Amino acid sequence: MSQNHSVTPNPQLVSWLLTGNSLRRLERYLVMINEYDITPIVLLSKCDLMEQGQITEKIDSAREIAPNVSILPFSNESGTGLDQIQARLQPRKTYCMVGSSGVGKTTLLNRLLGGADLETNPVREKTAKGGTPQRAVN
């Protein structure tokens, strides 16, 4: 017998961090999220590395896939847009953040939690991605 299991216990909001051309992946996540009646928000990260025209283009592309979903551009580096994200968060609610490696999930958590010091790798110039250090567990 097959059973469905939620990835996280009853989240109120799932944030998908998007930087590159991962719109098909976004579409797959939105289908899964919709099955659990969770409110999604698309967070367009690393906007400090893009021209305004690129940001607008990415927002427009995401809106084609998810016309009724909030899309918030932000920058962990400059702090632009972080206040809009923070305004969506409420105490004693469960949130889930998903996205590809290096899109800025851990850095965003550090910024939103103000004082958290979760370890991250520096952004690589070639790929414009960071990452969370991987450790072997003995």
Quote the CA–CA distance of 92 and 10 in Å, as a whole number: 12
Predicted pLDDT at 34: 83
Predicted pLDDT at 127: 53
Does any domain span residue 19? yes
pTM for the full predicted model: 0.74
Does any domain span residue 104? yes
What is the span of the domain harbouring residue 39?
A: 13-131
Q: Please state the domain count of the chain.
A: 1
**For residue 51, what are its two tokens?**
């021209």
pLDDT tens digits for range 27-86: 888 888 888 878 888 899 999 999 999 999 999 998 998 899 999 999 999 999 999 999
CATH at 27:
3.40.50.300
Predicted pLDDT at 137: 40
Does any domain span residue 7? no
Predicted pLDDT at 123: 56
Does any domain span residue 4? no
Does any domain span residue 6? no
Average pLDDT, whole number, for the chain? 79
Report strand pairing: 95-99 vs 70-73: unpaired
Does any domain span residue 138? no
